[in-house]
């Protein structure tokens, strides 16, 4: 991914190349793993995610890149087919219902994030979709404002309101969206209880906490931190991309213990099937624009319907996308005619 990002926007400004690269490392989370699974390429027991995929596995891809510090992120859910040429993966009604609910919740949330609206408005919209489909938002997943070189901004949106008697769930501060802001619309849902927790798998994704300083004692820790400060001073990274992974394994714990690195552990929901979709939205003067994200795979189909208000919002989104596609096609035809 680093190589692919380096090929983007190669123009120079005042003779200097634009900074570009990975804003969030590629994570491939399978089945009960919700997110943040970026296994090392080694045979150690904690690298259990390196096991071969099989037909019916639910795979969640999550990644991000940046140009000059301006970040775009995306996540997508697919099901492994029997073979590459298979028309569709094995049918699973519960999984399909969860996928449709999660994807539609992402679309509705993206449309609701608009100047003047609040994070409470988005939470209510997501909760309404979840209840209509009978699935549960994963409470530990949050939507975040993004700024230049900042992946997790101060403003955030919860997928559901915390229960009064649940000490594990923390209420996010109220906020109002403003024009010219950028948000990662991150939605994960489960057919189970929606409580995702760290598992036994080794954490490999971290982010430098630039406000924290400490004189490390272990040589491997100092070596690892020096490379992080040079290559990944602000964005999350995976240990897989460090020069000496063995040294990183020895030194990373001291860095985390003293708050120099923030870990992104792999989260698991063993209670049900899990789906995850994410897109990036820009709050422009003309309205909210969704600039990343793929279409829902056609094999995710369910007879369950959303409530009338949600259906209306989805219909408006579909109509706007159809007009945009038609305009793009017409522009393409006109270019061909001129040639």
Residue 8 sits in a domain of what CATH number? 3.90.230.10
**Residues 196 and 226 both lie in one domain:** no
What is the average pLDDT value for the chain, to the nearest integer? 91
22 and 141 co-located in one domain = yes
320 part of a folded domain: no
> Which range, 45-54, 159-168, 207-216, is most confident?
207-216
Q: Are residues 142 and 182 in the same domain?
A: yes
What's the pLDDT at 3? Answer: 77
Question: Within 10 A of 149 (CB to CB), how many other CB atoms are there?
Answer: 16
Q: Which of 2-6, 149-153, 275-279, 323-327 has the lowest average pLDDT?
A: 2-6
When pLDDT is cut at 50, 70 and 90, the band that residue 249 belongs to is very high
32 lies in the same domain as 47: yes
Q: How confident is the model at residue 10 (pLDDT cuts 50, 70, 90)?
A: confident
Q: Which range among 48-52, 64-68, 210-214 shows the weakest confidence by mean pLDDT?
A: 48-52
> What is the percentage of the chain residues whose pLDDT exceeds 70?
95
Q: Classify 31 as helix, strand or coil.
A: coil
* Same domain flag for 227 and 99: no
> Residue 227: which CATH number?
1.10.10.10
Please check whether residues 194 and 253 belong to one and the same domain.
Answer: no
pLDDT of residue 104: 98
Enclosing domain of residue 219: 205-263
Question: What is d(CA 146, CA 126) in angstroms, rounded to the nearest whole number?
Answer: 20
In a domain, residue 316? The reply is no
Q: What is the pLDDT of residue 84?
A: 76
Whether residue 213 sits in one domain with residue 169? no
The predicted structure's pLDDT at residue 28: 95
Q: How confident is the model at residue 312 (pLDDT cuts 50, 70, 90)?
A: very high
pLDDT at residue 11 in the model: 79
Inside any domain, residue 334: no
- 243 pLDDT exceeds 90? yes
Residues 188 and 53 grouped into a single domain: yes
Examine residue 49 and state whether it is found in any structural domain, yes or no: yes
Measure the CA–CA gap between 177 and 113, rounded to whole angstroms: 7
**Is residue 136 domain-shared with residue 241, that is, in the same domain?**
no
Q: Is residue 332 part of a domain?
A: no
pTM: 0.92
End-to-end CA distance of the chain: 36
Q: Is residue 337 part of a domain?
A: no
User: Among 192, 198, 193, 188, which Cα is nearest to 142's?
Assistant: 188
**Is the separation of the CB atoms in 205 and 237 below 8 Å?**
yes
Q: What is the pLDDT of residues 84-140, one digit of tens each?
A: 777 778 789 999 999 999 999 999 999 999 999 999 999 999 999 999 999 999 989
- Are residue 259 and residue 270 in the same domain, yes or no? no
Question: What are the backbone angles phi and psi of residue 197, rounded to the nearest 5°?
Answer: -135, 155
36 vs 42: CA distance, rounded Å: 18
For a pLDDT cut of 90, what percent of the chain falls above it? 74
Confidence of residue 40 (pLDDT cuts 50, 70, 90): confident
Does 76 reside within a domain?
yes
Residue 189: strand, helix, or coil: strand
Q: Quick one: 213 and 145 in the same domain? A: no
Cα-to-chain-centroid distance, residue 206: 15
Does residue 317 sit within a domain?
no
Min mean pLDDT across 83-97, 146-160, 279-293 is at 83-97
Question: 241: which residues sit within 8 A by CB, 6+ positions away?
Answer: 2, 25, 231
Position 41 scores a pLDDT of 79
Q: What is the pLDDT of residue 325?
A: 87
Beta bridge partners of 21: 66
| Whether residue 249 is found in the same domain as residue 269 | no
With cut-offs at 50, 70 and 90, classify the pLDDT of residue 1: confident
What pLDDT is stored for residue 68 in this prediction?
92
Count: domains in the chain? 2
């Amino acid at each position: 991914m680093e190589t692919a990002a380096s090929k983007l926007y190669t123009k120079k400004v005042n003779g200097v190349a634009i900074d570009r690269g990975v804003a969030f490392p590629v994570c491939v989370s399978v089945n009960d793993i919700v997110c943040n699974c970026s296994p090392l390429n080694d045979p150690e027991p904690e690298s259990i995610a390196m096991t071969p995929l099989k037909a019916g596995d639910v795979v969640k891809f999550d990644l991000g890149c940046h140009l000059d510090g301006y970040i775009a992120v995306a996540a997508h859910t697919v099901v492994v087919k029997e073979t590459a040429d298979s028309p569709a993966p094995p049918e699973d009604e519960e999984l399909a219902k969860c996928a449709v609910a999660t994807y539609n919740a992402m679309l509705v949330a993206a449309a609701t994030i608009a100047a003047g609206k609040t994070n409470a408005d988005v939470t209510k919209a997501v909760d309404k979709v979840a209840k209509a489909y009978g699935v549960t938002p994963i409470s530990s997943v949050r939507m975040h404002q993004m700024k230049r070189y900042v992946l997790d901004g101060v403003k955030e949106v919860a997928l559901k309101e915390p229960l009064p008697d649940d000490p594990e769930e923390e209420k996010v501060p109220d906020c109002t969206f403003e024009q010219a802001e950028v948000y990662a619309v991150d939605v994960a849902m489960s057919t189970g209880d929606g409580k995702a927790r760290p598992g036994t798998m080794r954490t490999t994704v971290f982010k430098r906490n630039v406000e924290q300083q400490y004189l490390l004692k272990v040589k491997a820790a100092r070596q690892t931190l020096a490379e992080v400060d040079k290559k990944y001073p602000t964005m999350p990274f995976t240990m897989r991309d460090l020069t000496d992974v063995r040294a990183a394994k020895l030194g990373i714990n001291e860095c985390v213990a003293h708050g120099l690195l923030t870990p992104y552990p792999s989260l698991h929901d063993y209670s049900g099937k899990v789906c995850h979709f994410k897109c990036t939205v820009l709050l422009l003067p003309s309205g909210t624009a969704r600039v990343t994200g793929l279409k829902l795979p056609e094999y995710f189909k369910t007879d369950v319907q959303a409530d009338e208000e949600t259906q209306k919002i989805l219909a408006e989104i579909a109509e706007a996308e159809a007009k945009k596609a038609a305009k793009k096609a017409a522009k393409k035809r006109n270019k061909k005619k001129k040639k």
